A and B are shown apart, each in its own frame.
Chain A
Amino acid sequence: MSFSKRHILFSLVIITFISVLFNIPIFAQEEITVINSYGIYTLEMLGYEDVVFEQPSDFEKKDFHYCLPDGAKQGPEDWYLIHISYDVIVSKDSGTGSLLISSLSNDYSSAQIEVITEYNDNGALVTTWNTVDLVNDYLEYSSQGLRASGNFTNYMQTSGIRQGKSTLSFQLETFGDIKVEKVIISKDSGIEFTSVSPPHLDLEAECRTPNAGVGAPIILYFSLTNNGDLPAKDVVVTARTNDDHLLTDTTEFRYSSIEYKEKVDGTFTFYANEDKSCFIYIRASAHGSSNSPIATFTIPVNIESSSGQAWIPLLIAMPTILILVIALLAKIKP
């Protein structure tokens, strides 16, 4: 008995109809874990083992899958972080060069670990490596041997976070004469889903001298609050101007850390030496902050208000001076 094409087609239609009717998958599908509650989802929890690259070529990339629920996005309520535990073994016969380990979500990068091999003063090949992330900015490490290992964490790139099936990639690129024996991305690496937001700075600023005069102080007051969950580190508030006729003593305030909901404040004082309007901006930034707020001011400066302002304290002081002079004269008189 032989099956004709018609038989095969009829069978396929019946199988498809039954599978749709009873929701039975026809082909075996990859089980993809949905990241839908707060916590760290390691590669192991996503169904994968250690990611191993043996003697990698100039460019290598390995893909893994996870799923995000409807409405998933990076911030402001929910946040996704990449965690990477890495171990790099450089070949003994390596030359100088660099290896770049990247991690991308849906082709958007959130990790760069740069491993560099170079000769030290004694002629021995040594390994240094560095990372850049949102919270810590630039970090550098070194070892006297040919191994680089550590842990890396970073808030993921906004475009890489989207609902549905997603791809997490680990990518290696080599430059120069570096030869790598092995790169291991541990199965403990993964994606963290959290409500903990990076630092967020809110700046309020006001000019307390709306009509300044030549030579008179222009006082700008600011207050800065960290409304993110993590402390803002290395916070800098700067006041700058492009106008040559403005002079100032203090152009920046620095704070090593501003905690959650903590508020700091200060004042910048400028002096104009020409009667034309001036432009000043105040900007706050911090390591790991999700923003850098700016406040701008255009302040008119004129001679009239300057001379007027200069006379006000003199007029107030005049009666006091007169009384003092009279008292002094009365005392001197025999």
Chain B
Amino acid sequence: MRYFISISLAIILSILILPFSIIQAGEVENFTICSICEDAWYNYDGESSSYDADNVDWPINMLFYNNANVGKVMDIYWGGAWPASNMYLYCDDGGGWVVDSETGSKSGDILTPTRYHMRIYADDGYRMYNTSYGYYCIASIHKDVNEGLPYAEYGWSEDMEDYVCDYADNEGYTVYEDYSSYGNQIYEWQGNHYYQSNGYASAVNVT
């Protein structure tokens, strides 16, 4: 009997979680690298550890710099993310490319219809360093609407960038909207994903 209950629970749980783990990849034409000092990263994150222009996830559109690290940025926003899939970003803090994987920070809980989801990336050690940005990490941000349901929709990264900037501004951080061009301008629907980016990343000075 106990065995039957365990199996049933596992099946129900799998059915509930399954829609969250189905990931629709995007195709973009402006997949390229961004670079400053000795560091570099790609302008989109991706759905696997060997992604390319044909299976990107979202545009990179946030920079947290000066005295930032992944933990501090998650602390400013919504802590961890559940449920959430790992996504990947190629980045290089000098010394070669590495692939960082992150589930990110997500607003609300599983019952919240619209959730804001930011994945914050860095090389080893949750932060990168160069003499221009200091300690920094970079992020993609999007909105999950009715996540996991058949009529779910995802995206609106540009709107989310504005929201994240306003949020940081209200928390007392210095914000520079559309601080730097990351070359990832896109406004198009692909399936239930709305890719929306003006091609510029905003910067938040984390002290």
Contact = CB atoms under 8 A, between A and B. Distances in A.
Contact of A137 (B69, B94, B126): B94
Interface string A218-262: 000000000000000111101000100000000010100000000
A80 B124 CA distance: 25
Contact of B75 (A107, A175, A252): A175
Of listed B69, B130, B131, residue having the most chain A CB within 10 A: B131
Interface string B57-83: 000000000110101100100000000
B131 to A, nearest CB: 5
Given A291-B38, A292-B92, A238 B135 contact: no
Interface in A244-295: 252, 254, 281, 283, 285-292, 294
Of listed B40, B123, B125, residue having the most chain A CB within 10 A: B125
B177 interface: no
B90 to A, nearest CB: 10
B130 to A, nearest CB: 7
Interface residues of B, number: 36
A175 B74 CA distance: 11
A280 B134 CA distance: 30
A234 B123 CA distance: 15
A130 B125 contact: yes
A157 B66 CA distance: 8
Contacts of B129: 112, 132-134, 137, 154
Interface string B26-38: 0000011101011
A286 B31 CA distance: 23
B127 interface: yes
Contacts of A140: 125
Interface residues of A, number: 48
Given A138-B125, A292-B35, A283 B130 contact: no
B67 A137 contact: no
Nearest to B52: A242
Of listed B123, B129, B133, residue having the most chain A CB within 10 A: B129
B18 to A, nearest CB: 31
A317 B127 CA distance: 59
A290 B123 contact: no
B38 A289 contact: yes
Contacts of A238: 96-97
A283 B33 CA distance: 10
A43 interface: no
19 contacts: A102-B67, A104-B67, A104-B207, A110-B134, A132-B128, A134-B38, A137-B95, A137-B123, A138-B123, A171-B67, A175-B71, A236-B96, A238-B97, A242-B32, A252-B96, A286-B94, A291-B37, A291-B38, A292-B40
Given A132-B93, A137-B93, A157-B132, 9 more contacts: A108-B134, A109-B134, A112-B127, A173-B72, A238-B96, A242-B53, A283-B40, A285-B39, A285-B94
Chain A to chain B: the 6 pairs with minimum beta-carbon distance, closest first: A109-B67, A236-B96, A234-B95, A138-B125, A138-B124, A289-B38
